[in-house]
Amino acid sequence: MEYILSTNGLTKTYRNYKALNQLNMHVEKGSIYGFVGKNGAGKTTLIRLICGLQKPDGGEYILYGRKNSRKDIEKSRRRMGAVVETPSIYLNMTARDNLKEQYRILGLPSFEGLDELLKLVGLSDTGSKKAKNFSLGMRQRLGIAIALAGNPDFLVLDEPVNGLDPQGIIEIRELILKLNHEKNITVLISSHILDELSRLATHYGFIENGQLIKEISAKDLEAACRKCIRVTVSDMEALARVLFQLKADHQILPDHQADIFGEISISKLAIALANENCELLSVHERDESLESYYVNLVGGGRHE
């Protein structure tokens, strides 16, 4: 297994607060790694460390085979592009001029590839329009273009769809998939918007209070997310009594609904409910979502 990034006991402390606490994670080459956690869980701290914006207080990270303690770690960082928190763009410049400025900062010998980069992120027709007049989605795509200016093969995105409208979210999603599938760019995405992340990620890392509590591939996650039967009834108290009697693993939901996990006979359930003067109004199959998996995981639930 080849890893672009791995961490070993990585720790970062701010006064008495451990933003990262013995973090161990592994980003596989070619993956789209979804870094999942609440705001304040440590996602941005990890990104700032690997980008060289801050130094760890303990442990280490290895980027393209180089430990962060090596003097030549910058050689590995040159293979990275990152958008941390908000895109770093000049609002009074056009998209083209923003990219030219980044080319100069990187010391690139010419502006070769600039037009292709604008086309790649869907900004080739913005002309003389200044970035301050761009939509949030356009600014985010410009930020990604700037991150790609040095032709990296590892892209790090911190909450890339935060605050975007549905169209902007779709555009960012399609761009990330294109970069991964067509350009073979490994992508690390930090996010708390799980529904969107589930459409992208090939691997997940779940972080809570600075610790990585689970790493799992999308394939294994799909297998781990159990199917369930969602039922709607007329009397929730009666349903709770029946499910307890049947020893059924279940979760009570609002609106007279419950999810029932594992095998259960619908006919036996209906008869038992009828004996309690409770009507079974609807039944349909569901898969456990990424969101419910995450909630159960950080809540110490079913998944180990």
User: The domain that contains 142 carries what CATH number?
Assistant: 3.40.50.300
Cα–Cα nearest to 224, from 212, 206, 239, 243 = 206
Quote the domain boundaries for residue 143: 3-216
Return the pLDDT at 262. 77
Read off the pLDDT band of 302 (50, 70, 90): very low
- Residues 276 and 231 occupy one common structural domain: yes
At residue 49, does pLDDT exceed 70? yes
Residues facing residue 230 across a β-bridge: 259, 284
State the pLDDT confidence band at 303, using cuts at 50, 70 and 90: very low
On the question of pLDDT at 272 being above 90, the answer is yes
Mean pLDDT computed over 30-45? 92
Question: Could you tell me if 41 and 184 lie in one domain?
Answer: yes
pLDDT at position 264 over 80: yes
| In-domain check, residue 296 | no
- As a whole-number percent, the residues of the chain with pLDDT over 90 amount to 75
121 pLDDT above the threshold of 50: yes
- The answer on 275 and 164 residing in a single domain is no
Coil vs helix vs strand at 97? helix
Q: 223-239 as b/e, with b when 16 or more CB fall inside 10 Å? A: eebbebbebbbeebebb
Mean pLDDT for 169-188 is 95
Average pLDDT estimate for 128-154: 95
Question: Which amino acid is residue 27, in one-letter code?
Answer: V
Q: Stretch 20-38: mean pLDDT, rounded?
A: 95
Q: pLDDT digits over 193-224, tens only? A: 888 898 999 999 999 999 999 999 998 888 77
Q: Are residues 101 and 238 in the same domain?
A: no
Residue 292 belongs to a domain: no
287 pLDDT higher than 80: no
Instruction: Report the alpha-carbon distance of residue 243 to residue 175 in Å, rounded.
Output: 46
pLDDT at 304 over 60: no
Q: Do 180 and 271 share a domain, yes or no?
A: no
Number of compact structural domains in the chain:
2
249 and 212 inside one domain? no
Residue where a domain terminates, one of 182, 216, 250: 216
Res 300 pLDDT > 70: no
pLDDT at 286 over 90: no
Question: Is residue 207 located within the same domain as residue 235?
Answer: no
Examine the pLDDT at 61 and tell me if it is beyond 50.
Answer: yes
Residue 177 lies in a domain: yes
SS3 assignment, position 294: helix
> Can you say how many angstroms the Cα of residue 257 is from the centroid of all Cα atoms in its chain?
29
CATH number, residue 267: 3.30.70.100
* Average of per-residue pLDDT across 161-181: 93
Determine what percent of the chain is predicted with pLDDT higher than 70: 97
Query: Which region among 31-35, 48-52, 55-59, 288-292 has the lowest average model confidence (pLDDT)?
Result: 288-292
If asked whether residues 68 and 165 sit together in one domain, one would say yes
Mean pLDDT of the chain: 91
Look at residue 46 and tell me if it is in a domain: yes
Among the listed ranges 76-80, 236-240, 292-296, which one has the minimum average pLDDT value? 292-296
pTM: 0.79
pLDDT of res. 169: 92
CB 92 within 8 A of CB 132: yes
